[in-house]
Amino acid sequence: MQANWQTVYPEWQEAIERLAQASGTVMVLGGVDTGKSTFCSLLLRQWQNAGALAGYVDLDPGQSNVGPPATFSWTLVRQPFERLNELSPGGLAFLGDTTPARHLSLALAGARRVLDELLALQPEKVVIDTCGYVGGWVARHYKLMLADLLRPRV
C-alpha cells in the first residue's frame, strides 16, 4: 500500500492542502534528512491528482532524486509516480560537488538555469527541493540568496 500524507504525516496535511491551492513556485527548506523530498513528492502528487501540470526542481546535489549526484536537475511531471527517483531529468546543471558550500556562485547560477529551463515549459506549479545545507552563516546566506534569485511564491 502506498503511504500518503493523511495517514503517515498528519502534521503536513494542512500545509499540503493549502499549497495545493497555490499557484507559482514553492521552495522547500530544511536540514538534512528532515523529509524535504518526501514533502515535495506528496505535494507533487497532490497537484497531479488535481490535474495541474507540475514541475520539480532538484537542488540537492548530495542526495539527488532526479539527476545524477553533483548536479541540479528539473523534470516536468507528466505521469503518476511513486518515488521521485522514477522521474527522468529534463535538464541538468553540473555542480561537480555534493554540496554547494564550496561553489556558491556556480550553485546559484545552476539553480537559476534549471528553474528557467523548466519555467520555459509553462508549468502551473513548481516545487523546489533544496539541500540540507542550513547550518552556519554561509549556509543561511546561500539560502537567502537562493530565495532572492529564484523568487518562490512560498
Q: Model confidence at 7, in pLDDT bands (50, 70, 90)?
A: low
pLDDT reported for residue 1: 37
98-114: pLDDT as tens digits: 999 999 999 999 999 99
pLDDT reported for residue 153: 92
Q: Does domain 22-150 have CATH number 3.40.50.1110?
A: no
pTM above 0.85, yes or no: yes
Average pLDDT over residues 62-69: 96
| Dihedral over Cα of 71, 112, 84, 39: its sign | positive
Count CB neighbours of 81 within 10 A.
Answer: 16
Distance CA 66, CA 30 (A): 19
Residue 111's SS3 state is: helix
67-97: pLDDT as tens digits: 999 999 999 999 999 999 999 999 999 999 9
Q: What is the share, in percent, of the chain residues with pLDDT greater than 70?
A: 95
